[in-house]
A and B are shown apart, each in its own frame.
Chain A
Amino acid sequence: MTFRERYRTELERTVAFEERELQTLTASLRQKLPQKERARLDQKRFARTCLAVLLLLALLTGGAFAALRLLAPHEVAEKLGDAALAAVLREVEENTEPQSVTDGDYTVTLLGLASGSNIRAPEGSAIDPTHSYAVVVLGRADGQPIRQEENGTFLFLPLISGYAPERIAPFTMTIARSAFYLDGVCYNLVDMIDLTAFSDHALWLCVLQTPFSPADALTMEPQSGDPVYRDNYSGVRALFRLPVLSGKANPQRAGELLRLAGLE
C-alpha cells in the first residue's frame, strides 16, 4: 500500500465525519437560505422607517467618536500580539494620515495600511510579503459602544478599478481578520492579498454592511471603472481611496493573481 493510500484510509478511519454530523451541518446551512430573504426584507424596512433617525444621528457625527483617542496602527498590532507587524506599521504610519467616514450609525476609520512587498519585514517575522494589512476602526457615530455582533455585520473588501467586486471578491477578499474591542470601538486588523501588485490601478478599501454579495451594494461604473453604490443599498457606505503605494506595480504578479482567480 502506498503512503497516499495509507494516509487516506487511516485519516478517513480515525477522523471520520459521520453521516449524522454531515446531516446536522447540511440542515444548519439550509436554514441560512430563508434567513437571507428575511434579512433582505429587514434591510428595506430599516431603510424606510429609520431614515429620520439616521439623519439625526448624522448630525451627531464626530461627537463622542472624535473625542476618543484612537490607538495608532502599531499599537493595534501590538495588542494583537504581532510585534513584527507592529514594527512595520510604525514605519508606515509616519507617512500616512487616518481617514474617517461617518455614514448612518457608524464611523469607519482607516488607521493605516502596509503592503507586504513594500515593507521590510524584520528577520524571522511571520509577515507574508504576498499580503497587505489594513487597520480599520469601527465605532458608533452616537458615541455609544459598538456591540460585538455589530462588528460581524461588516465586510472589508479591497477594490481594483475596472474589476467588478463580485468577480474579484473571491480572491481579493480578506484572508484573515482579527479584532478586539476597546473604549467602545472595535479595532480590526485586516489581512488581504498584496495590493502593491495592482498599484498601477486605482485602489480602494470598501467597508460594506451587507449580508449578501458585495454586488448587492456596489458596482463598477463601466466608463471610469470606479465603484458606485447601488441605489437600493442601505448599509454603511465607507470607501477609502488608497494612496498610491510606493512599491512599484507588478503587472506580472497582478496578472498571475488574476489568472489564479480565473479572470484573465
Chain B
Amino acid sequence: MSAFVDEKEWDALVRRNARHMLRAAYALLHSKEDAQDAVQEAFLKLLRYQPSFRDREHEKAWLLRVTINIAKNDLKVLRRFSSEPLPETGTQEEPLSPVVEAVQALPDAYRIVIHLYYYEGYSLREISQILKAPVPTVGARLARGRKKLAALLEGEDLA
C-alpha cells in the first residue's frame, strides 16, 4: 500500500475525481445509488492495481475508463437478471431537464460518447482512449447520437 498510505492524499484524489466518475456512471445507469456503487468499485480497483499516472489528466481518464467499464457491466447484469424494464430516469428528487432527459434516452453507446464529449469536453481521440474504441467508431457514435438528440430536442443546435 505504498502509494496511498497518506489519507489526505487519498481523500484529495477521491474528491477531485469522484464527481466526474459519478456523472459518467449515472449517464449509463440512470441511478445515483448504482452510480455511487460503481464509483466505489472503481476506486477499489485503483487500490488494487496501483497504476502509475503521468499526470492528473491521465489519472482522471483511467478512473473514468474503469468506472464506465464497471457501469457497463452493471448494466448488462441488471438487464440480464431484471424481469422489469429498467427505469428510464434516476431517483433524484428534482425532475430531469429536457436536455438531460434527451441524453438519457439515447442508446448506451451513443449516450456515453455524448456525455464525455459535451460534459467532460474530451476530444474524439481522448474518448477513443477512454473507451478503447477506434476514433472513427467514436466519431460515428457522436454523429448518430447528435442526430438523435437533435430529433429529440426538435432541431436544437448541438454545435
Residues of chain A at the chain B interface (Cβ within 8 Å): 2-4, 6-8, 10-11, 13-17, 21-22, 25-26, 28-30, 32-33, 36-37, 40, 80-81, 130, 155, 166-167, 169-171, 173, 175-178, 191, 193, 210-215, 257, 260, 262
Q: Which residues of the other chain, A, contact B92 by a CB distance below 8 angstroms? A: 14-16
20 contacts between A and B (CB under 8 A): A7-B99, A8-B119, A13-B94, A14-B100, A15-B26, A15-B90, A17-B32, A22-B19, A28-B40, A33-B4, A36-B47, A81-B80, A155-B48, A175-B72, A178-B73, A193-B132, A210-B48, A211-B48, A213-B49, A215-B50
- 7 closest A-B pairs by beta carbon, nearest first, are A176-B73, A10-B97, A170-B51, A3-B158, A213-B50, A7-B118, A4-B118
- Nearest CB of A to B61, in Å: 10
Least Cβ–Cβ distance between B136 and chain A, in angstroms: 13
Assembly CA distance A193 to B92 (angstroms): 35
B84 close to A (CB within 8 Å): no
Q: How far is the CB of A123 from chain B (nearest CB, A)?
A: 18
Chain B interface main SS type: helix
B51 touching A166, Cβ below 8 Å: yes
Q: Once the chains bind, are B156 and A214 in contact (CB under 8 Å)?
A: no
| Interface of chain B residues 49 through 104 with chain A (CB within 8 A) | 49-51, 54, 58, 62, 66, 69, 72-73, 76-77, 80, 90, 92, 94-97, 99-100, 103
Pick from B76, B80, B97: contact of A14, CB under 8 Å? B97
> Secondary structure of the A side of the interface?
helix
B7 at the binding interface (Cβ < 8 Å): yes
- Within 8 Å CB of A81, what residues of B? 80
For chain B, residues 1 to 16, give those with C-beta under 8 angstroms from any C-beta of chain A: 1, 4-5, 7, 10-11, 14-15
Q: Are B49 and A166 in contact (CB under 8 A)?
A: yes
Do the beta carbons of A212 and B48 come within 8 Å of each other? yes
Residues on B with beta carbons closer than 8 Å to the beta carbon of A213: 48-50
The answer for the CA separation of A254 and B57 in the assembled complex, in Å, is 24
B residues within 8 Å of A by Cβ? Answer: 1, 4-5, 7, 10-11, 14-15, 18-19, 22-23, 26, 32, 36, 39-40, 43-45, 47-51, 54, 58, 62, 66, 69, 72-73, 76-77, 80, 90, 92, 94-97, 99-100, 103, 118-119, 121, 129, 132-133, 156-159
Contact B77 A22 (CB under 8 A): no
Q: Is the CB of B119 within 8 A of A7?
A: yes
Query: In the docked arrangement, what's the CA distance between A6 and B157, Å?
Result: 11
Measured CA separation A135–B82 after assembly (Å): 23
Return the chain A residue nearest B12 by Cβ: A26
- Return A84 CB to nearest CB of chain B, in Å: 13
| Closest beta carbon of chain B to A174's beta carbon, Å | 8
Q: How far is the CA of A80 from the CA of B45 in the complex (A)?
A: 24
In the assembled complex, the Cα of A217 lies from the Cα of B14 at a distance in Å of 26
In the complex, what residues of B have CB within 8 A of residue A4's CB? Answer: 118-119, 121
Q: Which residue of B lies closest to A2 (CB)?
A: B159
Q: How far is the CA of A36 from the CA of B5 in the complex (A)?
A: 10
- Interfacial chain A residues near B47, Cβ < 8 Å: 32-33, 36, 212
Query: Given the complex, which residues of A lie within 8 Å of B100, measured CB to CB?
Result: 7, 10-11, 14-15
| Whole-angstrom distance between the Cβ of A252 and the nearest chain B Cβ | 12
The answer for the CA separation of A16 and B39 in the assembled complex, in Å, is 15
Q: Do A14 and B94 form a contact, CB below 8 Å, given A21-B36, A32-B44, A155-B48? A: yes
Residues of A within 8 A of B133 (CB): 130
A33 touches B132 (CB 8 A): no
